[in-house]
């Protein structure tokens, strides 16, 4: 089997979980893989030596269209891979940057959605990150297979190193790892409860990573808040390892959010850190209350969950261990090996579903 992945030069952050972890696993098991930037495909003839070519959240261009047409002419199957709803203009107003931005922001998002949608329509098959997202893709009449975002072999090696370093016991650190600048409305779900917690508990601090604008009421006074810029993936786990409680808020009643993956849960879970998450989509499918995490729907829920985990160390340990076990079973790439290989073989052999 010979697989080529086409990735976007503008979207390398998420490809750790959609491409590179899979490539590392497949290579380890003797399967040939190549990764090519969408800007380089014109000069990459080896695509035509592939058994399968996967287009990872790729926007349409004339070059991409010509490549797909040529692959089809050579009977090489094509896959479109996506991990969010950034192909369906019906839900564009669910995006934070569209709702809070100006007309130019909406025009940029509209162009992106339109171009991603065009590439999707050209491909033979679709892979996506969650069952919720699959429900919005089946209308295109193509076989759709869920391949979860995942924790990779290299990441788990970093986890092993991080676990040897003891966390600070003087302070309980609550962490939020927002990533891109699209989560301001999501963070508001927990912001009020967090303000109260930081005011009430002098032994608690808040660590926030990423391009998020914190609400003004959190920045007033001298609350113990540490803000950190985005870091490469290999450093991210080290920073997550320093927190005691992980937050994964998403704005409820938001279709775009209901399709988000479990990424913000399972990275913390790999480090045995419990997460409090919004009760929505894949988060609700993954977390079982008081077994491997906690779910929240209201400001009162967020406050109560935070209070409980701050005061009960043994519960933090229990939920962290439960989360770790869930992470390995559902999201560790080696445990997804047979399923992924079977899925790819089904595409190559022109079957609609993988043979498991």
Least confident span in 160-164, 190-194, 258-262, 305-309: 160-164
Do residues 298 and 279 lie in contact, with contact meaning Cβ atoms separated by under 8 Å? Answer: no
What number is the average pLDDT over the span 94-117?
90
Average pLDDT of the chain to the nearest whole number: 93
Q: What are the structural domains of the chain?
A: 2-150+333-348 (3.40.50.2300), 153-331 (3.40.50.2000)
Say how far apart CA 265 and CA 294 lie, in whole Å: 11
What tokens appear for 270 in the block? Answer: 């790999």
Do residues 140 and 121 lie in contact, with contact meaning Cβ atoms separated by under 8 Å? Answer: yes
Least confident span in 188-197, 332-341, 346-355: 346-355
Element (H, E) at 253: none
Residue 199, classified by CB atoms within 10 Å of its CB into exposed (0-12), middle (13-18) or buried (19+), is exposed
pLDDT-above-90 percentage for the chain: 82
Say how far apart CA 202 and CA 292 lie, in whole Å: 27
Do residues 91 and 97 lie in contact, with contact meaning Cβ atoms separated by under 8 Å? Answer: no
The pLDDT, as a whole number, for residue 97 is 81
Do residues 1 and 49 lie in contact, with contact meaning Cβ atoms separated by under 8 Å? Answer: no
The pLDDT, as a whole number, for residue 42 is 84
Name residue, tokens 């990275």: 267
What number is the average pLDDT over the span 31-44?
92
Among residues 310, 326, 181, the alpha carbon closest in space to that of 243 is found at 310
Among residues 120, 40, 34, the alpha carbon closest in space to that of 82 is found at 120
Over residues 217-245, the pLDDT tens digits come to 999 888 999 999 989 887 899 999 999 99
What number is the average pLDDT over the span 198-223?
92
Among residues 245, 130, 238, 251, the alpha carbon closest in space to that of 198 is found at 245
Instruction: State residue 173 phi and psi, 5-degree precision.
Output: -100, 125
Asked whether the predicted pLDDT for residue 210 surpasses 90, the reply is no
The pLDDT, as a whole number, for residue 168 is 75
DSSP string, 169-187: SSSEEEEEEEESS--HHHH
Least confident span in 120-124, 212-216, 286-290: 212-216
Please tell me what DSSP assigns to residue 289. B
Say how far apart CA 87 and CA 177 lie, in whole Å: 25
Question: In this structure, how many other beta carbons lie within 10 angstroms of the beta carbon of residue 187?
Answer: 23
Please tell me what DSSP assigns to residue 151. B
Asked whether the predicted pLDDT for residue 191 surpasses 80, the reply is yes
Half-sphere exposure of 260 (CA within 13 A, CB side): 27
Which residues on neighbouring strands pair with residue 332, listed in sequence order? Answer: 151
At 351, the pLDDT band (50, 70, 90 cuts) reads low
At 10, the pLDDT band (50, 70, 90 cuts) reads confident
What number is the average pLDDT over the span 109-116?
96
């Amino acid at each position: 089997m010979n697989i080529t992945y086409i990735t976007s030069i503008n979207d390398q952050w998420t490809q750790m979980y959609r491409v590179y972890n899979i490539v590392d696993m497949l290579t380890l098991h003797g399967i040939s893989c190549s990764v090519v930037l969408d800007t380089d495909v014109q000069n990459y003839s080896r695509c035509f030596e592939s058994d399968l070519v996967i287009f990872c959240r790729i926007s349409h261009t004339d070059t991409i269209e010509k490549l797909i047409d040529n692959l089809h002419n050579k009977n090489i199957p094509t896959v479109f891979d996506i991990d969010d709803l950034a192909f369906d203009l019906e839900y564009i107003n669910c995006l934070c940057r569209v709702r809070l931005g100006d007309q130019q922001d909406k025009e940029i998002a509209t162009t992106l959605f339109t171009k991603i949608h065009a590439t999707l329509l050209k491909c033979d098959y679709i892979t996506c990150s969650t069952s919720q997202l699959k429900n919005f893709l089946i209308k295109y009449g193509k076989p759709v297979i869920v391949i979860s975002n995942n924790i990779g072999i290299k990441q788990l090696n970093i986890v092993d190193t991080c676990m040897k370093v003891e966390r600070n016991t003087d302070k309980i650190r609550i962490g939020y790892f927002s990533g891109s600048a699209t989560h301001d409305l999501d963070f508001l779900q927990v912001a009020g409860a967090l303000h109260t917690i930081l005011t009430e508990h002098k032994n608690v601090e808040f660590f926030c990573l990423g391009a998020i604008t914190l609400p003004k009421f959190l920045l007033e006074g001298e609350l113990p808040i540490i803000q950190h810029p985005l870091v490469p993936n290999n450093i991210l786990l080290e920073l997550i390892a320093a927190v005691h409680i992980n937050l994964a808020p998403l704005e409820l009643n938001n279709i775009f959010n209901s399709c988000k993956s479990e990424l913000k849960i399972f990275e913390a879970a790999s480090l045995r850190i419990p997460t409090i998450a919004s009760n929505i989509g894949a988060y609700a499918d993954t977390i079982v209350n008081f077994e491997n995490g906690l779910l929240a729907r209201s400001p009162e829920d967020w406050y109560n969950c935070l209070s409980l985990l701050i005061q009960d160390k043994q519960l933090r340990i229990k939920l962290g261990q439960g989360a770790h076990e869930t992470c390995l079973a559902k999201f560790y790439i080696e445990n997804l090996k047979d399923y992924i290989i079977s899925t790819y073989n089904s595409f190559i052999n022109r079957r609609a579903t993988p043979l498991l």
